Amino acid sequence: MWLLLAFIAVPLIEIALFINVGGLIGLWPTLLIVLLTAILGANLVKREGAKELLRLRQSFNDLRDPSENLAGGAMILFSGALLLTPGFFTDAVGFALLIPAVRTAVYKYLRGKVKVQSFTYGQTMQREPRDPQRGDTIDGDFVEVDPEKRPTHPSGWTRH
């Protein structure tokens, strides 16, 4: 339901802002502002995305929980989409998401709304040793193939 309201409200807000801003400063300055915010936003997204990627790599190297960095990267990606969408409201939200403090606040808010059932990191599953009495061993016969024998029709499944 919230998503439907957003898809209805955001275009209405953008249209109202375009009409008001265009009425105040004119058509060409309004279009110039939209174009400049898209260019500036793309450059900022690139810079902030590189920083977030560096923080993500560092969290992997330090064996820390990478979820905040992954969420930050997702928010930067979302802000890039908002900044490339023509409009003043989407630009404002997009620029806000490029501020690290805003991303941290949004992450903390969303983290409180999400319940994680389980989380493991850096551990491998240990298999139990096989027990021949359990019946999980498969008995079979094999035939050794002469390595010099070449198939007459290469199938692509074997190395020749």
The closest alpha carbon to 76, from 51, 57, 54, belongs to: 51
Indicate the average pLDDT of the chain: 85
Q: What is the pLDDT of residue 55?
A: 94
pLDDT tens digits along 17-50: 999 999 999 999 999 999 999 999 999 999 999 9
3-38 b/e (C-beta count within 10 Å ≥ 16 → b): eeeeeeebeeebeebbeeeeeeeeeeebeeebeebb
Contact 18, 87 (CB under 8 A): yes
State the pLDDT at residue 22. 94
Least confident of 26-40, 51-65, 69-83, 137-151: 137-151
Q: CA–CA separation, 131 vs 23, rounded Å?
A: 81
CB 99 within 8 A of CB 90: no
Tell me if 111 sits within 8 A of 72, measured CB to CB.
no
On the question of pLDDT at 125 being above 60, the answer is: no
pLDDT at 82: 95
Tell me, rounded to whole angstroms, the distance of Cα 151 from its chain centroid.
47
Confidence of residue 8 (pLDDT cuts 50, 70, 90): very high
Q: How far is CA 82 from CA 4, 7, 23, 42, in A?
A: 17, 13, 23, 10
Amino acid at 99: I
pLDDT at position 140 is 78
- pLDDT, position 146: 72
Instruction: Supply the pLDDT for residue 148.
Output: 73
Q: Following DSSP, what letter does each residue of 35-59 receive, concatenated?
A: HHHHHHHHHHHHHHHHHHHHHHHHH
pLDDT value, residue 26 = 94
Residue 70 has pLDDT above 60, yes or no: yes
For residue 73, give every residue at least 6 positions away whose Cβ sits within 8 Å of its Cβ, in sequence order, or none: 49, 52, 53, 56
Residue ranges covered by each domain of the chain: 14-112
Percent of the chain with pLDDT over 90: 62
Per-residue pLDDT, averaged over 10-14, amounts to 94
